[in-house]
Amino acid sequence: MSLLAAFLDLHGQRAVVVGGGAVALRRTKALLSAGLEVQVIAPVVQPELAALPLTVQCRAYQRGDLAGAALVVAATDQPDVNAQVVSDARAQGTLVNDAGDAARSTLRFPAVAQQAGVQVAVTTGRELPLLAQALTARVADLLPTEAQVQSWAAQREAALTLPSDRKRAALDTLRADISRALGAA
């Protein structure tokens, strides 16, 4: 099965994380870094998770908790609760990640390398997060610096103002420069 690779702009949207442990913490950090407004629902929430800028409801999951959420994460240590969360999210057409069973998810969290505004996400399409993490570490070494990205962006902007034949040549030169800098030439 092939997955749709996409980057979603969900800044300011509501996300619900059901669970309060280590996995919920990792998923919540990813959601917060993407600008989502996160609500955590769990009878017990570890202190590091509760200290993040989010809303916490210390109680068991209840039907109706997902109303208005753009994205849901089921991250409890109880498969039956996760299954209910996934079922409820799917019923309302909401993206859902089941941290315990990726096959039930409509959304998976990839391993991500990020620097200077460049993001590269890696998933294996299987349950091999260690492979995705190793590939991401290798890719991270290839990411350009902020100065490189700024220079390339300025060169691109300048090239776009040129007449068509000079624009094409300038963009070809820029493409070759980027490829060389990344070791792809």
DSSP letters of 35-65?
T-EEEEE-SS--HHHHTSSSEEE-S---TTT
Closest CA to 78 of 54, 44, 112, 108: 44
15 is written with which tokens? 């996300």
pLDDT confidence of residue 1: 61
Pairing of strands 37-41, 55-57: parallel
Residue stretches of the chain with pLDDT short of 50: none
pLDDT confidence of residue 124: 83
Q: Which SS3 state, helix, strand or coil, does residue 18 take? A: strand
Model pTM score: 0.86
pLDDT digits (tens, 9 = 90+) for 18-70: 999 999 999 999 999 999 999 999 999 999 999 999 999 999 999 999 999 99
Residue 148, classified by CB atoms within 10 Å of its CB into exposed (0-12), middle (13-18) or buried (19+), is middle
pLDDT confidence of residue 79: 95
